[in-house]
Amino acid sequence: MIIHRLALKSLRNRWVTALLTVIAISLSTALLLGVEKVRTGARQSFADTISGTDLLVGARSGAIQLLLYSVFRIGNATNNIGWAAYEDITHHPDVAWTVPLSLGDSHKGFRVLGTSVDYFTRYKFRGTQNLRFAAGKPFDDLFDAVIGADVARALGYKVGDPIVLAHGLGSVSFVEHGDKPFRIAGILEKTGTPVDRTVHVSLAGIDAIHVDWQSGGRVPGQAVTADEVRKMDLKPQAITAAMVGLKSKLATFRVQRAINEYRKEPLSAIIPGAALQELWELLGTAETALGAISAMVVATALLGMVTMILTTLNERRREMAILRSVGAGPRTVLGLLVAEATALTAAGVVLGPCLLYLALALLQPYIDANYGLHIGIAPPTATELAMLAAILVAGILAGLLPAIRAYRLSLADGMTVRT
């Protein structure tokens, strides 16, 4: 207890440098925990991109490729699914619901997704969250479109504005379906998923703009007007992929095997969660790099603390000598400096999480709304507590270096006046 009181009084006499050291350690601790929070939040948000869907079905391909083009709108399908095959899946006794997905067109760099109106109730993210409309409503007309939050913000669209789809995926297209414009019927709220960057139209709308097209171009002499196409039977011939919900989770592998062994055409059925985990493992290098950088920042702060204590040792030679002259042994001097390092590190370890949670409380709504990254404000996890304990131990060990040096200073050296 005497050593602790001496350490606190010593730090109080050097409160400016001590305060700066605590701030440095607390900021580095907050950064380390912040990176861990962002990492886990990003991983959870990534895993929660699609929820409540038991299977994703597409043409025969790899699991990651199917996940990328059907959920993240990245890349293209190797082939389409015939409408008859989709109906067979829909009528499977273990299937509760299906939602078709048709990709291929774009609008100013944003992907266009043809689907059914059930998409807006069946698609879930972050566990059980449903898509919500910031304005307007789902499409109910052949040429209605529902756009994501990023599309509306980037292009300045509002409900009722016309929108022209383009053939292909380029940000600038010279092949547009200008004879059949759509009208924005609704704008979705921000979700932090690829939905934000998607233009949604009906499957019939996708077929309507392609009735007079073949092999990526308009058929010469076969111009069909928007009014004429409304009178046609626009039953789809094929789709890109499908979301499938099952009546029981126990049937997942049974239905997956049945789809993978479908005889009429080659199909693939994947479990979204498993494919997301596989994809995240490919991206693990980035989170490892972030963790390493944060650890280096903490090490730098602790090095600054050691430098501060070492720098003041020369000024405190007489203080140490006086302590030795009144009966303090070398171990007391050693304990004093270790106690100072422990106090500084402990203060930083306590203040760091407080700063982090304060920042999260202030910035969480902004980060969620603008970046779609949900970082939960929850008590420290076992991993985070282990990090804090490691920082504290590292600070104590770092304090041993100046303590050992002071331990070796002799009484005669302390009382000597150097010129």
Judge if 212 and 294 occupy the same domain: no
d(CA 260, CA 82): 15
Per the domain annotation, does 128 fall within a domain? yes
Token pair belonging to 113: 């997704």
* DSSP letter assigned to residue 71: T
* DSSP letter assigned to residue 161: -
Size (the chain), residues = 419
Domain that holds residue 294: 2-46+284-415
Per the domain annotation, does 188 fall within a domain? yes
pLDDT by residue (tens digit) across 246-274?
999 999 999 999 999 999 999 999 999 88
Per the domain annotation, does 184 fall within a domain? yes
pLDDT at 326: 66
Judge if 230 and 290 occupy the same domain: no
Q: Is the pLDDT of residue 297 over 80?
A: no
Confidence tier at 319 by pLDDT (50, 70, 90): low
What is the number of domains present in the chain? Answer: 2
Judge if 120 and 208 occupy the same domain: yes
Confidence tier at 383 by pLDDT (50, 70, 90): confident
**SS3 for 118?**
coil
Residue carrying structure tokens 């879930």: 124
pLDDT at 141: 92
d(CA 154, CA 136): 18
- Across the strands, what pairs with 217? 214
* DSSP letter assigned to residue 250: G
Alpha-carbon Rg for the chain in angstroms: 32
Which of 270, 303, 327 delimits the end of a domain? Answer: 270
Amino acid found at 116: S
Judge if 90 and 223 occupy the same domain: yes
pLDDT at 410: 46
Q: Which helix (H) or strand (E) holds 146?
A: strand 144-147
Return all residues near 353 (Cβ < 8 A) that are at least 6 apart. Answer: 29, 30, 33, 380, 388
Return all residues near 104 (Cβ < 8 A) that are at least 6 apart. Answer: 112, 167, 206, 240
Judge if 200 and 231 occupy the same domain: yes
Per the domain annotation, does 158 fall within a domain? yes
Judge if 100 and 237 occupy the same domain: yes
Contact 38, 365 (CB under 8 A): no
**SS3 for 121?**
helix
d(CA 300, CA 24): 9
90-102: average pLDDT: 96
Judge if 95 and 154 occupy the same domain: yes
Judge if 172 and 78 occupy the same domain: yes
Judge if 166 and 94 occupy the same domain: yes
pLDDT at 223: 72
Judge if 368 and 236 occupy the same domain: no
Judge if 252 and 131 occupy the same domain: yes
Amino acid found at 255: V
Q: How many H helices and E strands in the chain?
A: 15, 17
Q: Is the pLDDT of residue 54 over 60?
A: yes
Token pair belonging to 406: 């002071």
Confidence tier at 407 by pLDDT (50, 70, 90): low
Instruction: For the chain, give the mean pLDDT.
Output: 83
Closest C-alpha among 408, 297, 282, 400 to residue 348: 297
- How do strand 241-246 and strand 95-107 relate by DSSP bridges? antiparallel
pLDDT by residue (tens digit) across 200-230?
999 999 988 877 766 555 555 567 777 788 8
Which of 219, 243, 270 delimits the end of a domain? Answer: 270
In 259-403, beta strands by DSSP E: 267-270
Per the domain annotation, does 277 fall within a domain? no
Confidence tier at 133 by pLDDT (50, 70, 90): very high
Per the domain annotation, does 279 fall within a domain? no
Q: Is the pLDDT of residue 105 over 90?
A: no
What's the whole-model pTM score? 0.72
Distances (CA, A) of 371 to 42, 368, 374, 375: 10, 6, 9, 11
pLDDT at 6: 66
* DSSP letter assigned to residue 347: H
Listing DSSP states for 193-221 in one string gives SGGGGEEEEEHHHHHHTTTTEETTEEPTT
d(CA 189, CA 152): 10
Q: Which residue has the higher pLDDT, 132 or 17?
A: 132
- Across the strands, what pairs with 246? 95
Per the domain annotation, does 105 fall within a domain? yes
Q: Is the pLDDT of residue 20 over 80?
A: yes
Closest C-alpha among 52, 66, 64 to residue 266: 66
Per the domain annotation, does 206 fall within a domain? yes
Which of 214, 245, 270 delimits the end of a domain? Answer: 270
Q: Is the pLDDT of residue 38 over 90?
A: no
Judge if 345 and 373 occupy the same domain: yes
